[in-house]
Amino acid sequence: MGIEREIKLALPSEQAHTAMHYFVEHTGEQALDVPLANIYFDTPSLALTQAKVALRLRKAPGGWLQTVKLAGTAEGGLHSRHEWETPVAGEALELDVLLAACSDAQAADVLRRAAPQLVALFRTDFTRKLWRFAYQGARVEAAIDIGEVTAEVDGVLRRAPISEIELELMDGDESALHALAAELSACVPGLAPDNTNKAQRGYRLRTQ
């Protein structure tokens, strides 16, 4: 189990180049480009989201991963939540493995009861431009995510753009994240704290 702590910032698409330039200048390195394809699952009655649980299957360059996340908290763009992640062989959930890894009894029970009815509800596909570096004594992972959320509803494909920055605390004091977000916001016009994660955007896309 891990507790994910990250600040999400909504990035105006026209400022993506400015944000990339900031990180290149700060780190002296070009971004590592990581293509990510994600499928989110729930029951038709949305049992997981009602229990504030998210279930995701992700294809990354290193293979497939399945992740369960709890809602946690989000304030001023800072997201803090519990998550459990395990590798899988391919494009299919292996819930027995994930249930064994999940140490939250309530979340595990929700997943177990939902398992027979799980369906893929929506996708997020984006390229993550990634940097890892030290900042004020902390280790930080900075990502610029550009892509889209898609959901098929009644035979119609709905789309919404993804354009955001994630600043994740790998190690160190949380205050470093806030300081980095403030410095970045001073350099990139239009950045704003974003309390909505990608899964929430997908659910909203389905119900709009």
Residue 73 is predicted with a pLDDT of 63
Residue 3 banded pLDDT, cuts 50, 70, 90: confident
d(CA 27, CA 136): 13
Residue 120 belongs to domain with CATH number: 2.40.320.10
CB atoms within 10 A of CB 1: 10
Whether the predicted pLDDT of 2 surpasses 90:
no
d(CA 108, CA 118): 14
Does the global pTM surpass 0.85? yes
Whether the predicted pLDDT of 1 surpasses 60:
no
pLDDT in tens, 127-176: 999 999 999 999 999 999 999 999 999 999 999 999 999 999 999 999 99
Tokens of 24: 């290149």
SS3 call for 56? strand
Q: Please tell me the total count of domains within the chain.
A: 1
- Which are the contacts of 89, defined by CB distance < 8 A and separation ≥ 6? 64
pLDDT in tens, 15-61: 999 999 999 999 999 999 999 999 999 999 999 999 999 999 999 99
| Residue 9 lies in domain | 2-207
Q: Compute the average pLDDT of residues 106-123.
A: 95
d(CA 130, CA 99): 30
Give the C-alpha distances (Å, rounded to integers) separating 6 from 99, 120, 169, 170, 200. 25, 26, 6, 9, 16
Residue 72 banded pLDDT, cuts 50, 70, 90: low
